[in-house]
Structure 1
Amino acid sequence: MAMIRQPENFPATVKEVRRQLALSQEELAHALGVSFATVNRWENGKTIPSKLAQRQFEQFCKDNVKKGNLVLNEANKCPVVLGEDAPGANDDAR
């Protein structure tokens, strides 16, 4: 089973993705299939995304990186989905 690791700076990452893509919170919410309030809460650090929303956000980022529309550095990177064999994938089992 894959495990999602969310960076501690997820709110900043969401803001940076929106800034680079010139999207409003509402536009990002529509692209991800979530509500405006959800994106707003992510950015304000009030909630963290569900696993499904994390995967959708990660895919959204990957797609935009491939298109050349988005550049993320180490400080602002999308959540990473780790496979079972990836280092740290079974950290919860310890």
Structure 2
Amino acid sequence: MARPKKGQPQETDSPIKKLRLAAGLSQADLVRLTGLSIATISRWERGEGGEPTMTVYQMKAFCQAVNKTLEELPNSLKPPSKSEDDEAK
């Protein structure tokens, strides 16, 4: 599967990736701004490792990085599972 060229919109079910892309950030940018590791961000965007958890400091930094308040974030930052996608249809 070919990767989209830089600057082209990408389809994703990951709320974290959607927020990151909407803010115009790369994974490396998010690492620099939040102190999270690139492996952690990548794993969360792929929906691996369960519900994403962050310290209060990391959550504040994440909100600031993606230009959202805590209240504006979705209730879950975990991508929906295939069964949740099917139930929503």
Using structure 2 for the length normalisation, give the TM-score. 0.50
**Structure 1 unaligned blocks of 5 or more:** 1-10, 67-71, 80-94
Name the residue aligned to 2:45: 43
Q: Using CA pairs under 8 Å that are at least 6 residues apart, name the structure with larger relative contact order, 1 or 2.
A: 1
- 8 Å Cα contact 1:25-1:40 kept in structure 2: yes
- 8 Å Cα contact 2:31-2:37 kept in structure 1: yes
Q: Secondary structure at the match of 1:39?
A: helix
Q: Matches of residues 1-94 of structure 1 in structure 2 within 5 Å?
A: 12-48=14-50, 49-52=52-55, 56-57=58-59, 59=60, 60-61=62-63, 63=64, 64-65=67-68, 77=74
Identity among equivalent pairs (%): 33
- 8 Å Cα contact 1:26-1:36 kept in structure 2: yes
The ranges of structure 1 where at least 4 consecutive aligned residues each deviate by more than 2 angstroms after the TM superposition are 48-51
RMSD: 2.9
**Structure 2 unaligned blocks of 5 or more:** 1-12, 77-89
> How far 1:41 sits from its partner (Å)?
0.3
Using structure 1 for the length normalisation, give the TM-score. 0.48
Whole-angstrom distance in 2 between the partners of 1:78 and 1:31: 22
Q: Deviations over 1:59-89 (max 9, x none)?
A: 232x3136xxxxx5xxx6265xxxxxxxxxx
- 8 Å Cα contact 1:13-1:78 kept in structure 2: no
